[in-house]
A and B are shown apart, each in its own frame.
Chain A
Amino acid sequence: MAILVEMPKLTDTMEEGVLRKWLVKEGDVVEPGKVIAEVETDKATMEMEAFDRGTILKLLVPEGTGVPPGGGIAILGKPGDDVTALLDRAGKKAEKAAPAKAAVSAAPVVAAAPARAPTGRIPASPLVRRLAREHGIDLQAVAGSGPGGRVIKRDVDPIIAGGGAALAVATITPLPVRPAAPLPPPSAGDVLVPLTPMRRTIARRLLESKQTIPHYYLEIEVDAEPLALFRSQANRDLGEGGAKLSVNDIVLKATAKALREVPQVNSSFREDGILRHGRVDVSMAVAIEDGLVTPVIRDADRKTLGQIAAEARDLALRAKDRKLRPEEMQNGTFSVSNLGMFGIERFAAVINPPEAAILAVGTIVPKPVLRGDLMVPGKTIVLTLSADHRVVDGATGARFLQVLKDLLEHPMRLVL
Chain B
Amino acid sequence: MKREIPIIITFVTGILMIIDFFVPHPPFGGLSSLFEIFFTIIFSFATILGILALSKINIEKIYRKRETYGYNIVLLVGLVTMIFCGLVWGIGEKSPFDFLYMNFMMPMQSTMFSLLAFFVASASYRAFRARTPEATLLLIAAFFVMLGRVPLGYQMTKWVPEVFPSWLHFLQLPIIANWIMDFPNTAGQRAIMIGAALGIASTSLRLVLGIESAHIGKE
Decide if A and B are genuine partners. no
